Amino acid sequence: MRTRPQPAPTVPPASARPAAHHSQHRCFIVPPYLLAQLASLEDPRLHRAREAARHVLESEHVSHSVRPGEPPTMRPPVVRPRTGPVANPSQPDRAISDAGGTETLPGRIVRREGEPAVDDASVNEAYDGLGHTHALFWDAFERASVDGAGSPLEATVHYGDAYDNAFWDGSRMVFGDGDGQVFAGFTTSLSVIGHELTHGVTQYTANLVYSGQSGALNESVSDVFGALVEQHSRGHDVTEASWLIGEGIFTDEVEGTALRSLKAPGTAYDDDVLGKDPQPAHMDDFVETDDDNGGVHINSGIPNRAFYLAATSIGGNAWERAGRIWYETLTGEIKATTDFGGFADATIAVAVRLYGSESPETAAVRTAWGEVGVLS
Q: Specify whether the CB–CB gap between 287 and 280 falls below 8 A.
A: yes
Name the burial class of residue 104, with classes exposed (0-12), middle (13-18) and buried (19+) by CB atoms within 10 angstroms of its CB: exposed
AA letter at 98: D
DSSP string, 185-215: -STT-HHHHHHHHHHHHHHHTT---SSHHHH
User: Which among 173, 178, 186 has a CA at the least distance from the CA of 161?
Assistant: 178
User: Which among 24, 76, 63, 68 has a CA at the least distance from the CA of 293?
Assistant: 63
Q: What is the pLDDT of residue 79?
A: 44
Query: CA quadruple 251, 254, 260, 263: dihedral positive or negative?
Result: positive
Name the burial class of residue 54, with classes exposed (0-12), middle (13-18) and buried (19+) by CB atoms within 10 angstroms of its CB: middle
Q: What is the pLDDT of residue 13?
A: 34
| Residue 373 CA, distance from chain mean position | 23
pTM: 0.89
The helix or strand, by DSSP H or E, that contains position 270, with its residue range, turns out to be: strand 270-271
Q: What is the pLDDT of residue 8?
A: 36
Q: What is the pLDDT of residue 59?
A: 80
**Which residues, in sequence order, are CB contacts of 239 under 8 Å at separation 6+?**
312
pLDDT in tens, the chain (376 residues): 544 333 333 333 333 333 333 345 789 999 999 999 999 999 999 999 999 999 999 885 544 433 333 434 444 444 444 444 556 889 999 999 999 999 999 999 999 999 999 999 999 999 999 999 999 999 999 999 999 999 999 999 999 999 999 999 999 999 999 999 999 999 999 999 999 999 999 999 999 999 999 999 999 999 999 999 999 999 999 999 999 999 999 999 999 999 999 999 999 999 999 999 999 999 999 999 999 999 999 999 999 999 999 999 999 999 999 999 999 999 999 999 999 999 999 999 999 999 999 999 999 999 999 999 999 9
Q: What is the pLDDT of residue 69?
A: 38
Q: What is the pLDDT of residue 65?
A: 39
Active-site residue numbers? Answer: 196, 297
Q: What is the pLDDT of residue 169?
A: 93
289 vs 303: CA distance, rounded Å: 18
Q: What is the pLDDT of residue 25?
A: 74
Q: What is the pLDDT of residue 85?
A: 52
**Helices 121-141 and 212-234, axial angle in degrees (round to 10):** 100
Listed by start position, the domains of the chain span 207-371
Query: CA quadruple 253, 255, 261, 263: dihedral positive or negative?
Result: positive
Name the burial class of residue 376, with classes exposed (0-12), middle (13-18) and buried (19+) by CB atoms within 10 angstroms of its CB: exposed
**CATH level 2 (architecture), domain 207-371:** Orthogonal Bundle (1.10)
Q: What is the pLDDT of residue 227?
A: 98
